[in-house]
Every structure is written in C-alpha cells, then in structure tokens.
Amino acid sequence: MKILITGPHGMLGTDIINLLRKEAASSTHNKDLKVIEAPHEELDITLEDEVSNFISRHTPDIIINCAAYTNVDKCETEREKAFKVNALGPKYIAAAAKECGARIIHISTDFVFDGNSERPYVEEDQTKPLSEYARTKLEGEKNIQDYCNSFLIVRTSWLFGHHGANFVKKMLELAGHKKELSIVTDETGSPTYTTDLAEALWILIEKGCEGIFHVSNEGYCSRYEWAKYIFETQGYNIKVNPIKSSQYKRPAKVPLNSTLNCQKLTTSTGMRMRPWQEALSAYLNKQ
C-alpha cells in the first residue's frame, strides 16, 4: 500500500509520517507499506498540473492531505492565498486522486461551525463559517466531496504537537517572562494532541471508514482554563486574568463553542480518544 502525504513537515503531518514509518517498520502485516512524502518544496498543491503530475507519477493508494494555510488571522488579509491552499488545493488533489483511484483523507476544522450551538457539534450539523480561514476550509471540504469518489474528511480542533507553533508552546513561552496574563473565558474547545490524532487517522484508514468524522481529545475547556491548567501543572506562578473574547481584539472572528462530538469515531472503530488533560501530560513529558 502506498500512502502519499502532503504537508509532511507541518505539525500534524510530522506525527503522521512518524507513525506510518513505525507501522511500516514494525509489523509484518505492513511490510508493504510505502510512505511518500510530498513537501511544499516538491509539490505546491495550488498548482493543478504539478498536483496531477506528482500524483499520477507516484500512483498512491491513499493520499493524506495535511497541507493547509493555517494562520487564521493572516487568512483575513491574504484571502487569495487562503483560497488557493485551503480550497483549490484540495480540489486538485481530489481530482488527481479520482484519476488514479486513490482514497483521499482530508483534514478539516471545527471552525466550519459558527459556535452558537449549546452542545458539541455532530458531523451533520449545519456549517456556518465565520472567518476567511473557515470559509476556505469549508470550500475545501466541499471540493473533496465533489471531485473524488472515495474520501474521509476529519474535522479536528485546537491542535498542539511537537512540530509547530501552538497555544501550549505560546503559553509556556509567555510564562518564561510574564508575571500576569489575560486569557479569554468564553471560547470553548477540545485541545487535541497531534500524536493522538495521527493514531485515530490510522485506525480510521485501516477500518476503511469514509465520510465526515469529528476527532478531538475527550473533554473540553475554555482558553482560560487551558492556560491555567498548563501553568499549574508546570509549576508556574503566574496571575491569569479572565477576559471576554470581545475584549481580545484579533482580525478573525472565531466560534465560541468549538467542541466536537466524536461518538461516530467510537461507534465506527471502537476507539475513544483519551481526555485532553492526559494527552497534554504526555506531550509535556515528551518536551
């Protein structure tokens, strides 16, 4: 089985590559697993011909698209780039996947929802993106569904991992030189460890799951609670002031409720994601 990964040097992509390489090395069952990395320097997903040529040359069985333009605030001003990477790229990959009969695994986001729900979002809930990032990611989802026969779209939330910028790293960096911070209390989500997400993706792939799935670590918290938890467990004595999101000005509008219901993952695979606190401890112990 040949698996091609776009964005292999990103935060999630790196963990997927590590997991696949371990799988390929460890089990006799997966001896024939071949991992093809398609880094940005070799494959720009916004170039249709390049995508088509690269994919038809490698004839993968599965394509995992981890490439995206993920700077939510910058997407507000760099709209064309956001559209090309998050919406057009998936379209070109989906069309090329269809051409060579490959399954496509595409990563999407909790931000496709407007955050007004009073419960965690299920896969069938009405989407209503609030930002350019979210609009382009939703367009990417639609293109995957329209241009490819066999797809798995995984929406996830609040990622943290070892190989990219994220909230946990930011908080630890700030804790090194600040005595006091203000963090929002009315933005709620499920922090998700990219190592855990990579494992869930692999299980979904092995089980042949298709359609849309929500995958995040179990439980939820506000940004304020998340920051407090990081500081307390890491022994930082830092004053955290609770503020409302309306007091924290940023270019992009983000959903207040970002929580995802992951029951479908459990029902379809038997897998349950561990609580975010456990995942965070595992991440911090590995730092």
274 binds ligand NAP (CB under 6 A): no
Residues binding ligand NAP: number (CB under 6 A): 27
Instruction: From the candidates 69, 92, 121, 133, give the one annotated as an active-site residue.
Output: 133
CA-based nearest residue to 217, from 276, 258, 131, 157: 276
CB 55 within 8 A of CB 102: yes
Site track for ligand NAP across 76-95, x = CB under 6 A = ---------x----------
The minimum distance between CB 148 and ligand NAP, in angstroms, equals: 16
Rule CB under 6 A: say whether 10 interacts with ligand NAP: yes
**Single residue of 5, 35, 62, 70 touching ligand NAP by CB under 6 A:** 70
CA dist., res. 239 & res. 231, Å (int)? 10
Residues 17-46 that bind ligand NAP (CB under 6 A): 40, 43-46
Q: Does 9 bind ligand NAP (CB under 6 A)?
A: yes
Binding piece for ligand NAP, criterion CB under 6 A, among 63-71, 202-210, 237-245, 247-255: 63-71
Active site residue 236: no
- Please enumerate in sequence order all residues whose Cβ is within 8 A of that of 123, keeping only pairs 6 or more positions apart, or say none: 155, 211, 212, 213, 214, 264
Residue nearest to ligand NAP (CB): 10
Query: What's the residue count for the chain?
Result: 287
Nearer to ligand NAP, 30 or 95 (CB): 95
List the catalytic residues.
133
Give contact residues for ligand NAP (rule: CB under 6 A): 6-7, 9-13, 40, 43-46, 66-70, 85, 107, 109-110, 137, 156-159, 164
